[in-house]
Structure 1
């Protein structure tokens, strides 16, 4: 009896062991019911798919169900996955990926799972093992981004989803190497498809290839890869142009044919001159036109009126304020230039200064022309404001009298003046004004005591008002100087007659000088000359008696060739008879 009891104990132990073995077998079936291999996604590795479009399924040996009779009630015993889980069948849990965190690998994602096994009494039937799930598949598409930068990702025709809890769609740009990956939870549509919207701003606004994958996620959080899809987002591009400045100095900058602008907030256009080394850079916000282009106007005055090359660039700005360079363009602004000329002064002493063929004048306010004589060292400089002519040239008249009647070289310069009053030098010109000169001579008549002074071949007389000729005898030390105003002759010469009697009838050397006198009364010496004079020192003349009529007692006294060193005011003729010696003298005035 004791022996029989002992055997029963052994039998009980045997059945207990068998029950434990059965539990282990059942647990293996649970662990192997999904035999799909999963691709682990890491930050440094792109998501890949198997070579075949269908997921790789690894067949597992199904463990059969044992029928047995339990000698006694059997309780449920917990069984850990460490007892049954195989290393090549991991359980993977997927969670949202944050910055600095890698997508879990198959090794790091596996964690123990505790299962429960139920044993049955004798005569009952244990559950049979389940077979592998049907193959999974889906169609996955990604739309091109719309005007707001939204991609629509759609998974449809899903197969093999039965028994899975949800669908996950990771999406990222290849340009950023999966740094911008986001795991989206798409929404189920009435037709059974799943869709989600992804915005470029959530993916650093990257250009180029984007990739999406669709995964089925079971109730244990395990991911099963199903399908991948790609879309190319156009690299930002545009046509950028800059017009030559108009007459007001305005550049028109135009960006058109914009591509890859989806999801950006605005367009910015920086513009500057190369001459100023970007010191004058201005970031413009262009206006959108009805044709989709963007334009902005920039004025040269806002860029220091620089000449030479100007540069513009177009940037797309996203909602995070990040700039994406798109295109650059250049334009050359003509360096200010013009033709400048100065006429010789006319008979009134007027110079005509002309600036024509003006270039690079766009955006300037006015033209200024300073003019001066080199002889005066710019002391006589005058800044003239020329008048614009119908042909676009600018002219001004300058008179020599406003420049101290200087002789020699004159200089004019041309400046463009902008709205800020800044002068830009453009051109200079010169003209030589002839130094005043003339030929001066003195002819004398010693018998009559007269001098004829003549000035001819006058040069540099333009702008002067008159000619003056001072004349004097050196014997009197200029005490007898007289300033004569000669008369202009038809041949352009000037002459005047001087009498020796007006110079105290002095003998010896006489001097005459020629002066030009301007409108301010300033005298400019031109020339001098001399003459030697030896006049008679006592009065002379001839007297004759004619028509003597003895019957009537009358006769005519003829007086001629009268000369007096001091001049002749009147001639008186005394007459008397020989009888009684001059007691009958009478003075007759001739």
Structure 2
């Protein structure tokens, strides 16, 4: 059994213990509350340079009237320094550190916990040079005090700061403001700021001053602006533009602030002529949020646009995408199209119908917006119906003979321009003879006028003329035929032409016939040819070879005929697809020069005692070492004189290819034919390009110039000799110069 006295003693002990615990917990709460109170931000300092740029790592001391440092604070990268541990009262704010080249400041400071935290803007100015400081120290002190007083964002703070001479030492006491500074302060005191919405653009508003007009002491006005969301992550410093009325303004667009709506913070910095800040004015503007509107434009040039307006919102816009697909077969052609900002709170995505499987269908477009936080949100949708325009406007096709080539005709569409959904145009073409035995498919190419066309060459149809059938197929993105059009074109009878080479080379001339065709086609061309003398006693049927570009060519070798110097008559016959021979055209060529040869018109190019070795075939024109030796080599000593073989004009004079020093002279032979003679491996050149030379005139001297193994020009690449060649200008090809000059018997040439 427990005694009553023991029970009462236990109760008393427990009560005392409970009271002790409660007192301990209360003390802990009071201490914690005191700590939290002490950690509250009581004052914020914003420190910047004269350009409005934040100053990092600036250090400030808060000093009481006993010259004791109560607290020290440091600015961050935003120029923000916080005072937390200083109690209410008047203090001296002394800056002890800033960036190099700038001055620290001192000013009065009042801490008042009853009012909301006030931001104090401190501007650090560039240091003046030492002589200027010594000569005008009082003005600098006045200016510094005025600037720091003028930039307070809360005008009511000035009334709460009481003058206390005990806050500073005698050597720290600011000088009195001069009359000039006071006048400047009064000059900017009435300046205000207004903000207005741009009527025609809902993403823009105008910030402008009121009261700057007529004030000559203002050098510039800056408008730092940012949205209230996420501190100053979108801070922009705008340079005010001075208008004709003397006020400063700037147009601010939400696109420069991530397309954010809501509250915009605007500070207006009024700068004096020395760069000092005369006044800072704080203001706000609420940019309204619009309701988004999604629409689709008409189809133009095979494209339509999805337009989205009114996207700006309080979270901003970082990206807009428009996933789009055609209705048939679900999402099998889904494409995520990116929208582009085009101004006035509007984005556009271009939808190219050619990128989708269906040309004519309902196009479905959804709109997704990604904000500045990276969150993507579905906004809405729109549709666009693309109809086949050829149902109401049937396809039209035309054809005409090609102007610069009568063997071709051009097929073109007439009403495809600006119509959507056309992926490809094919033209099936054939002649009406023997069904579709030579049908060809041509793919149309779109021209600058938006129409599709192709060129048809009768070479692809056996050189047939007459009626052609044309079927035109328009295909959509999936390859399906949109529409078909049937048409025809009659290729007119061609007008063939015959031409010859001017030069007769090695007893052979060439005859060519162009633009041959017939309704039954062409399988071959024959050229019966004979010399005019004695009738057709030497008639030969010369076959022509097709060499392309609607041209056939036959080689007429004069050695096969009875007379070489005569008029040669040629008739052209075509052989059609039925094997029938049809006369086409006739022509003739007169041969004036017997290439057997008649010498004596041209001089010999050297002294006549120098001549090629008749027993060495490598000295002469023709095959040599797997190639063609394009001239005659005449051995002669260095500096032996070389002469012009005829009257002419110098075409080339200088180093040329492997010939070393080289001269080429254009002449005219006794029959009026043009021929150029050239001299290679010369030791020296005595004429220039464009110079007229006479038969027998010295043009250079014999040498051995040419390439060495490294393809560098040297004077002794070969033994001394003259390489003499000829070029027939009709073919621009080297030919045997012995057609004109006798190298076997130099004395048979002209003296």
Q: Same fold (TM over 0.5)?
A: no
Structure with greater proportional helix content: 2
* TM-score normalised by L of structure 1: 0.30
Q: Which has the higher contact order (CA 8 A, sep 6+)?
A: 1
* TM-score normalised by L of structure 2: 0.25
